[in-house]
Structure 1
Amino acid sequence: MSYIPVIIIGAGRSGTNMLRDTLTKISGVKTWPCDEINYIWRHYNVSYPNDEFTSDMATEKVKKYIHKKFDEMGNNSHTTHLIEKTCANSLRVDFLYEIFPNAKFIHIVRDGRDVVESAKKRWTASLEPSYLSKKLKFVPKTDLPYYGFNYFINRLYKIFSNNNRLAYWGPKFSGMEDKLKSYSLEEVCAFQWKESVDKATNSFTKIPEEQVYMVYYENLTAEPEKYIKDICEFMGVSYQDSTLFKITEDINNHSVGKGITKLRENKKLEKVNTIVADSMEKHNYET
């Protein structure tokens, strides 16, 4: 392996795309030509009902396949660091660490209330064929029938359901289907954030500190040059101070607090706070 795998971990709608897209502006830092590669991570475990993979699910066959796919993308003379960002990975960090024990991990956390409103928009959005087609080339051929059927079901649910949402979106945590039957969509988004943050945070306590960089969305968007510089040093990436402004010019904090305001206006904030409060406090957020 001639490159360093760098895996961005974060709940959906926590700034993982923004962080990946910023870092890949740096020479030698590459990623996949699609948004996520959950299909690759799930190969040989494709029918498992959720994304909470355990370390023992990283069999030798799984490791060999995933290493091969990473090498196909990363083993060239121009790549020093290969960045991967799949939000479902926040539920299976132990599984990832078993596959890549020498990887570097960047854990980004965002205020759960802001995440809820942003995630809700994705749950209720239309499926985008062009977005999915970019991922299609990375679906293992033997898994195509499984994903084709699930895409069909998700599309039908959005069209015919009275709930005005997709059947599923984002990281699938254990028990999510039951939550969808019993709670509002905002509350399900809150549970989704909580499970993603809690499971990742717990897993990172078992990984050497020098392999993990923790960053908060609010800090990153307030002082992007400072934190991207820190992340570059953590990754071992060469950079020039003069280029940091250009690299970080698309990062802004315009969305900070908007979700909280929307939840308050819709009288949903109290219920969401009840779900996320303890996890928020562990990360020094005020609720």
Structure 2
Amino acid sequence: MFVLGTSVMADAFRVLSPLGTAYDNRYSQNLQGRCMALRRKIPERATKIFRNVFSRLPFPGISRPLFIIGCGRSGTTILGRSLSEHRKITYLNEPRHLWFSAFPETDIWTAKAHARNGKLFLTEADADPQKGEKLRRLFWFETIMNRKPVLIEKLPINNFRLHFIRQIFPDAHFIHIYRNGLEVARSIEKASEKGDWFGSGSYKWKKLVEHARENENTQNLPELCTTCYDKGLLEWRLSTEAVVGFLRGLPNNAFVEISYDEFIDHPVKTISKVLAFAGVGPDPNVETFVSDIVARKSSKLNPNRISEKERILGGDLLAWLADGGSGLSHEKSGQGKIHTID
């Protein structure tokens, strides 16, 4: 049985109480100091206990979180890793456990996904207020424990849940990174060979198929997917169209958009643009990291060499990029021919 030392338990109660105390900024600052001191004393298992307790307390939760969005294998991980070097940024890299804790139905990967009624596509109607409050507190807890106030989260499947996220986090901002769909498909193909990219028992793929079939423009495409490369290209299309359709409905100051090539070719300039959007100043640690680490790891594919099958699976956005288009979420990109599911 797990037992905490008396002094540590006493510290924990001082940090996580009193329940009846009204929240204010002074208490928040004091709480951050106490949590950091407590973190040095307790093991990870105890942190999980305190996280769970904290999520039930009457705190307002995180404000102005930023979400990195974009299809998986588009550079979301290296972008998030770069931002994590900043002294003010708490970076959550695919924090599925936090999402599962508040919304079990967000699970489309594990063996428990079926029992949890895991959903790929979530809307405002799925954003239960009580669960949303819990998630906001869970995110805020992470910033307190790290003593870094700006929260940036990355979970690529969120591309299909952006209206859901906006309902939970009304002041959320978004960082979109996009990449040539052919390169993404190739990378997904490699990743799927190493593990369960499409979920335990292909649960995620089955949900992607269901999602594609709900739209007359994509309903017949799953039958064309005979390889993991094909599946990856369809995932890129569905994911990217969902993001673009969402961002086009936001004010320009609610999101920033960069391309993978832009980040690889000009890492310092690009990361500076993102940091400015996030509302934090430059940090030499970030600049050093991107200068030393950010580089292309695979050969660049020519987007002009697209087979007929790739053109069908990739859709208008793939053709737009092949023709030299950029700035996917601007109204004129892709000539406005984006087919989304409301």
Interval of TM-score (by shorter of Structure 1 and Structure 2): 0.7 to 0.9
2:82 matches 1:22: yes
> Aligned with 2:276: secondary structure?
helix
Conserved? CA contact 1:51–1:172, under 8 Å: yes
1:1-287 equivalence runs, <5 A? 1=61, 4-32=64-92, 35-41=93-99, 43-46=103-106, 47-76=116-145, 78-126=147-195, 154=200, 167-168=202-203, 172-173=207-208, 175=210, 183-185=225-227, 186-240=229-283, 243=285, 245-248=287-290, 249-255=292-298, 257-258=300-301, 269-282=307-320, 285-286=323-324
d(CA) in 2 for partners of 1:23 and 1:67? 21
Q: Classify 1:168/1:80 alpha carbon distance in 2 versus 1 (closer, same or farther; 3 Å).
A: same
Identify unmatched segments of 5+ residues in structure 1: 129-149, 158-166
How far does residue 76 in structure 1 lie from its aligned partner after superposition? 4.9
How far does residue 92 in structure 1 lie from its aligned partner after superposition? 1.2
Q: Classify 1:172/1:279 alpha carbon distance in 2 versus 1 (closer, same or farther; 3 Å).
A: farther
TM-score, length of structure 2 as denominator length: 0.63
Q: Deviations over 1:57-85 (max 9, x none)?
A: 11212211211211221235721211110
Task: Quote the RMSD (CA, aligned, Å).
Answer: 3.1
Give the 4+ runs in structure 1 shifted more than 4 A: 168-172, 176-182, 282-287
How far does residue 280 in structure 1 lie from its aligned partner after superposition? 2.2
- Using the aligned pairs only, state the percent identity: 22
Rg larger for: 2
Q: Deviations over 1:6-62 (max 9, x none)?
A: 100010100000000000111111123xx4123533515354453110111112122
How far does residue 254 in structure 1 lie from its aligned partner after superposition? 4.2
More displaced stretch, 12-21 vs 91-100: 91-100
d(CA) in 2 for partners of 1:246 and 1:187? 37
Does 1 or 2 have the higher relative contact order (CA < 8 Å, sep 6+)?
1
Q: Classify 1:250/1:198 alpha carbon distance in 2 versus 1 (closer, same or farther; 3 Å).
A: same
Identify unmatched segments of 5+ residues in structure 2: 1-60, 107-115, 214-220, 326-342
More displaced stretch, 36-45 vs 167-176: 167-176
How far does residue 109 in structure 1 lie from its aligned partner after superposition? 0.6
d(CA) in 2 for partners of 1:114 and 1:169? 21
Conserved? CA contact 2:62–2:137, under 8 Å: no
The aligned residue for residue 39 of structure 2 is none
d(CA) in 1 for partners of 2:172 and 2:273? 17
Q: Classify 1:127/1:232 alpha carbon distance in 2 versus 1 (closer, same or farther; 3 Å).
A: same
How far does residue 2 in structure 1 lie from its aligned partner after superposition? 6.5
d(CA) in 2 for partners of 1:171 and 1:74? 35
d(CA) in 2 for partners of 1:233 and 1:56? 33
| Residue identity in the other structure for 2:176 | H
More displaced stretch, 202-211 vs 85-94: 202-211
